[in-house]
Amino acid sequence: MAYLDRNVRRLQWRTSKSRLFFAVFIMLVAFTGALAIRYYAVEPILLQDTAMQPRIKKGSLIWVCKLPQCIDKATFGEIVWARQPNNETLVRKIIGYPGDTIEISDKGRIKTKQKRFMWRGEDSFIETRKFYVPRQGDTLLLSTLNDVEEDYILRLMNEQGLPITIKSTLWQGNREISIERIGSTKLGHRLVSLKELDVLPWQDRRLIEMQIRQAEPGNAPIKIKRQFFIEGDSVPMDTFIVASDNYYLACEQGNHCVDSRELGFFTKERILGRYIKQPDIVKQFVLKKAQEFQKTFFPIKKKEVAEDAPQETPKEEPKKDKNEVEVIKVEVDENGKPQPIHDIKTNNGPERVQQIKRPHAIKAIDPIKEPTKGQKK
């Protein structure tokens, strides 16, 4: 009776309206969850440049995870999706973490805390430089920064909205010389203007220093020094407090690519997502949750057997004895010799077939010749 009651309840559930309503509700929940994952968790990105070749080719469609835990778990060498200062986005890999020190040479040799590698065709660093990737809460002493770090920190100041003014001076050793001397130097085929000196990148300022060093007498080095002021304050800034963690992003290639070498550090707020190597990770997660839901609400029951029904016992296959022999048929020719299997041909005449016994062994026993006419068996 219990078995029949279970079957009746099962049939009633399958044909009830509640089951249909429950199925529609589950479909709506799944559709809503898929939309939420698409707009808040993952997003497809189409690569429109060759910056990540050969790792990712131009025109490839990749998926990035935008959840905070995905960004926090990004490791060295992983690819991230980030926003530039002009609000355009790019896809680059991480080679510098908050608190790391990176050294880049003019030969393209990169030294980081995690790895050493080489860029072929590196064309941004004209001289070897070492710089620090600041972390949140760091207090930087501006007078100790080198020319590369000054450019990167100046971009951070502008990003934080600090009203900064810059004053540049020219020094030969410990002696200050006239800043008008810079007006006689050239960048390419044009003369340098004093108005653009404050915002020139460190590579151009270094080329100006080298030109003045060749023209000025003496062995003391030439240095362009910059002082930073808050607008309305005549006292130069001594320190700068970093408001957020910073990352150093780079391309797979060493030339013809825009990355942190030109754009500076990327703050954590400008990291939009982390590249998912296989979008099936999300698919596997959804399938796993669906299977758990199915096991909880729709468990698959095994076929029930009535208690009074006789149980079938599995048949055991007979074991072969090693000494057991098998009978095979081999075709023989007129002389009684066996023919190979691939040489057997069918003809209109009667086939000469003889039965032989062969044990289960590697070597075969020669067939017994069929007695000819006139011989006794």
pLDDT in tens, 238-270: 999 999 999 999 988 777 788 999 999 999 999
Tell whether the model's pLDDT for residue 12 goes beyond 70.
no
221-237 per-position pLDDT tens digit: 999 999 999 988 888 89
What is the rounded CA–CA span in Å between residue 101 and residue 133? 6
Taking alpha carbons only, the member of 268, 341, 328, 315 closest to residue 74 is 268
Tell whether the model's pLDDT for residue 141 goes beyond 70.
yes
197-226 per-position pLDDT tens digit: 998 999 999 999 999 998 888 888 999 999
What is the rounded CA–CA span in Å between residue 44 and residue 28? 23
281-315 per-position pLDDT tens digit: 555 665 666 677 666 655 655 554 444 545 555 55
What is the rounded CA–CA span in Å between residue 169 and residue 175? 11
Across the range 160-167, mean pLDDT stands at: 90
Across the range 2-24, mean pLDDT stands at: 62
Give just the sign of the alpha carbon dihedral 97, 100, 104, 110: negative
What is the rounded CA–CA span in Å between residue 296 and residue 66? 30
- Sole residue written with tokens 């003045």: 212
CA–CA–CA angle 103, 104, 109 (5° rounding) = 110
What string of DSSP letters covers 300-325?
-PPPP--TTSPPPPPPPPPPPPTT-E
Q: Which of 52-56, 60-64, 164-168 has the highest mean pLDDT?
A: 164-168
Across the range 319-346, mean pLDDT stands at: 53
Q: What is 1-97+258-304's CATH number? A: 2.10.109.10
pLDDT at position 44 is: 85
- In whole numbers, what is the pLDDT of the chain averaged over residues? 77
Q: What is the percent of the chain where pLDDT is above 90?
A: 36
Across the range 155-167, mean pLDDT stands at: 91
When pLDDT is cut at 50, 70 and 90, the band that residue 98 belongs to is very high
Tell whether the model's pLDDT for residue 194 goes beyond 80.
yes
Q: Where in the chain is the domain with CATH 2.10.109.10?
A: 1-97+258-304
pLDDT at position 364 is: 45
Tell whether the model's pLDDT for residue 69 goes beyond 60.
yes
pLDDT at position 206 is: 93
Tell whether the model's pLDDT for residue 62 goes beyond 80.
yes
Beta partners for residue 267, in sequence order: 246
For residue 361, give Cα distances in angstroms to 150, 318, 321, 364: 85, 19, 12, 7
For residue 247, give Cα distances in angstroms to 95, 146, 344, 345: 8, 18, 78, 80
